[in-house]
Amino acid sequence: MAFVTRQFVRSVSSSSTASASAKKIIVKHVTVIGGGLMGAGIAQVAAATGHTVVLVDQSEDILAKSKKGIEESLRKVSKKKFAENPKAGDEFMQKTLSSISTSMDAASVVHSTDLVVEAIVENLKVKNELFKRLDKFAAEHTIFASNTSSLQITDIANATTRQDQFAGLHFFNPVPLMKLVEVIKTPMTSQKTFESLIDFSKTLGKHPVSCKDTPGFIVNRLLIPYLLDAIKLYERGDASKEDIDTAMKLGAGYPMGPFELLDYVGLDTTKFIMDGWHEMDAMNPVFQPSPTLNELVAEKKLGKKTGEGFYKYK
């Protein structure tokens, strides 16, 4: 009922001021929910491009760690970007850091934000609870976006009354370096919202690509099956993981082989995505689980972050 009421109000407004209603949202104030690597990276690039940013997480310790990580990352960026003018680099750092504030209460800061970008745990129930709560406090014009890499955007948006102002905004790690952003449009996402997010992505210096709300979007939908096929090739004994990696680097021109990439991304992350797809479509042969991957994850051998995955790291 609330969604119908919201839509009715917008319809009345748009009928009287058609041109105004079609105007895209110019994002100036951004709230990022989640102070992990992705959230901190998104906060950094937004602040570095002139946006006012509030970074939200559940504890002061996490937020302090996030700010420290952002500062270290900015130092590297400014050193490279302003190699011949260190003073300008220091000013860039200070200006960017001063544009980022932190909070442990998302509901108290979204009332004046133009865009909420969520980058928390990949759990639909948790995301739904978050957006359902924020929907009550955010301004009517505020756009909601999820950075999820594996969940359906529509399933998250349905927890709110602003499905027309909800989309996917999928960044890639590390955010300050990776140029791509996938902008995901659900059947309910308005063209105004979609175009506003395309423009926002460009202001960040990113290259946005658009995709419908399909499992894995573009990159992961092509990448994860490729990685799983490499594991199956190895499981069958057709080739060693070292030779598979070498073949894809030298034969296909990839910067990393599939097993190197699996260890870099995190085996638990790949398994989580594949398990979600398998749950959605258990009969799809592409979405079948890997015994080797399951075994390594069960043994906590998750890749570079734990010191061992398909390869061992010192």
Q: For residues 304 and 296, give the distance between their C-alpha atoms in angstroms, rounded to a whole number.
A: 13
Q: Is 182 a catalytic residue?
A: yes
- Quick check: 47 and 99 in contact, CB under 8 A? yes
Q: From the CB of residue 272, how many other CB atoms can be counted at a distance below 10 Å?
A: 16
Residue 80 labelled as part of a binding site: yes
Residue 73 labelled as part of a binding site: yes
Residue 36 labelled as part of a binding site: yes
In the set 146, 190, 196, 220, the catalytic residue is: 220
List Cα–Cα distances, 28 to 31, 105, 109, 190, in angstroms: 10, 20, 14, 20
Most distant CA pair in the chain: distance in Å?
68
Q: For residues 304 and 123, give the distance between their C-alpha atoms in angstroms, rounded to a whole number.
A: 23
Residue 305 labelled as part of a binding site: yes
Residue 195 labelled as part of a binding site: no
DSSP state of 290: -
Q: Is 141 a catalytic residue?
A: no
Residue 253 labelled as part of a binding site: no
Residue 128 labelled as part of a binding site: no
Q: Is 149 a catalytic residue?
A: yes
- Cα 125 → chain centroid: 17
Q: Which residues face 169 on adjacent strands?
A: 183
Residue 34 labelled as part of a binding site: yes
Residue 38 labelled as part of a binding site: yes
Q: Is 128 a catalytic residue?
A: no
Residue 122 labelled as part of a binding site: yes
In the set 51, 99, 147, 170, the catalytic residue is: 170
- The token pair that represents 29 in the structure block: 């104030």
Residue 256 labelled as part of a binding site: no
Residue 149 labelled as part of a binding site: yes
In the set 118, 182, 190, 201, the catalytic residue is: 182
- Quick check: 55 and 35 in contact, CB under 8 A? yes
Q: For residues 103 and 153, give the distance between their C-alpha atoms in angstroms, rounded to a whole number.
A: 25
Would you list which residues are annotated within the binding site for CoA?
73, 80, 149
Would you list which residues are annotated within the binding site for NAD(+)?
34-39, 57, 122, 127, 149, 173, 305
Would you list which residues are annotated within the binding site?
34-39, 57, 73, 80, 122, 127, 149, 173, 305
Query: What is the set of active-site residues?
Result: 149, 170, 182, 220
